[in-house]
Amino acid sequence: MSISAYAGEFTISPIPLEMSMNYCSHKCAVCFANLNQPGRTLDVKATINQIKNCNKGKGLTSYLLREKYPILLSNRVDPFAKTNYRQTLSFIELFNANENKIVFQTRGGDGIDEALSLLDYKTHWYVSISQLNDDLRKKLEPGAPTIQSRFELIEKLLSKGHSVSVGINPLVEEWLPVADFQEMVDRLLDMGVKGYWLELIHLNAKQVGNMSEKEKLAVGSSLIKEAAKRTPNYSYIDWAREYIQDSGGEVFSINQPNASSFFDDYHKKFKTIKTNQDFINHCFKKYPNGGEIKWHEYYEFMKEPFYEQEFSEADGFVYRIARNVYKKLENTPFKTLKGVLEAYWDNIDIPKSLFNNDLFSVLSYGSDKKPGTYRCKEDSKIIYWFNAEPSDKLRHFIE
């Protein structure tokens, strides 16, 4: 484990680098990272070398490090878990020396005061809370700090001038029923937390297979079944989004069908890359009544100075995200991030395709049994329709 380009959330996260460390001792029962790779450890020497040698390195990670892009710590571990915090503190100093800022994702833990004293800038902290009931937290997140201590952490971070958003990820009605959800969000809004990242629970067969009996019991068989569904029920998350928005907060969920300023703080504070949410915000401004979107407009909006440079890591941005689709594609391996975005754009089976968002339909002709897809005359790429007011998933059929 070391530093890598954040391929898994390319077009989702504005932070282009992430660092993974050791197995996370917070031990959340549904942690995808612990369930996927239970024995992972940080390769300390290799990671130090990545930072120290980034000026010589030819890869994308070296490029992003030397261009002073920020790093997410972490999507796959808690940097303040007992298994990680000592190394986190050492790496903060190395990142400071290399002028890479850090964005933290945490449930709290050890070493946070020391970390704060090492930072000479105000950063963004994403603090996760999925329950209000601490007895439930003990069963589901046995190694993680109490819920009360997370509120105290948020208060401290805000009082020191840092920004905080809260991840209710996963959001599960059984864990955070309506009354608890409202109490928690009202309290956080009063404290000054504006941004909330909401996602549903998801577990694949391998992850369920890696759960201990105790973890399975804590989560419960009906929820495990629900978490494995390909077409999950979005009704609670839709309600939760509306509740937060009506209360003056901002929400982000992958593929949410609305504009959101959730990432504005990231863009203000850090050297970031554009996200699909930024593009959606752009579409709402430019096409309030809907409109046709071509590849050229999307790419011109999304592109960054390095998207046409060749990096060997680019291929993994498609291969690792959609292996089955990748195998059928021509023109592989992908050499540039522009090529990766083109693949996302033109292959609606890739989960990163805009088609997965209800705001975008593929502009098609024929009938819904045998549609043909309209393609742009200039570049032969799919044309999307931006549904400014999506109801159900629309397909635009033109007879």
Contacts to ligand SF4 by CB under 6 A: 24, 26-28, 31, 33-34, 77-78, 81, 107, 144
What's the length of the chain? 399
- What is the smallest separation between the CB atom of 350 and ligand SF4, expressed in angstroms? 26
Tell me how far apart the alpha carbons of residues 248 and 238 are, in angstroms, rounded to a whole number: 16
What's the distance, Cα to Cα, between the start and end of the chain in Å? 53
Name which of 16 and 109 has its Cβ closer to ligand SF4.
109
Q: Cβ closer to ligand SF4: 85 or 252?
A: 85
Least CB distance to ligand SF4 at residue 371 (A)? 40
Least gap, CB of 74 to ligand SF4 (angstroms): 7
- In whole angstroms, the minimum distance from the beta carbon of 92 to ligand SF4 comes to 18
Contact 392, 234 (CB under 8 A): no
Looking at the Cβ atoms of 37 and 309, the one nearer to ligand SF4 is 37
Q: How near is the Cβ of 108 to ligand SF4 at its closest, in Å?
A: 9
Q: How far is the CB of 295 from ligand SF4 (least distance, A)?
A: 36
Residue placing its CB nearer to ligand SF4 in the complex, 24 or 157: 24
Nearest residue (CB) to ligand SF4, 107 versus 241? 107
Give, in degrees to the nearest 5, the angle at Cα 156 between 152 and 161.
150
Closer CB to ligand SF4, 21 or 244, in the complex:
21
- Shorter beta-carbon distance to ligand SF4: residue 108 or 316: 108
For residues 81 and 92, which CB has a smaller minimum distance to ligand SF4 in the complex? Answer: 81
Cβ closest to ligand SF4, residue 129 vs residue 350: 129
Contact 14, 273 (CB under 8 A): yes
Least distance (Å) from ligand SF4 to the CB of residue 1?
12
Cβ 180 to ligand SF4, closest distance in Å?
Answer: 19
Q: What is the 3-state secondary structure (H, E, C) of the chain?
A: CCEEECHHHCCCCCCCEEECCCCCCCCCCCCHHHHHCCCCCCCHHHHHHHHHCCCCCCCHHHHHHHCCCCEEECCCCCCCCCCCHHHHHHHHHHHHHHCCCEEEEECCCCCHHHHHHHCCCCCEEEEECCCCCHHHHHHHCCCCCCHHHHHHHHHHHHHCCCEEEEEECCCCCCCCCHHHHHHHHHHHHHHCCCEEEECCCCCCHHHHHCCCHHHHHHHCHHHHHHHCCCCCCCHHHHHHHHHHHHCCCEEECCCCCCCCCCCHHHHHHCCCCCCHHHHHHHHHHHCCCCEEECHHHHHHHHCCCCCCCCCHHHHHHHHCCCHHHHHHCCCCCCCCHHHHHHHHHHCCCCCCCHHHCCCEEEEEEECCCCEEECECCCCCCECEEECCCCCCCCCEEEC
Smallest gap from Cβ 144 to ligand SF4, in A, equals 6
- Please check whether residue 65 is in contact with residue 47, taking contact to mean a CB–CB distance below 8 angstroms: no
C-beta closer to ligand SF4: residue 71 or 77: 77
Q: How far is the CB of 107 from ligand SF4 (least distance, A)?
A: 5
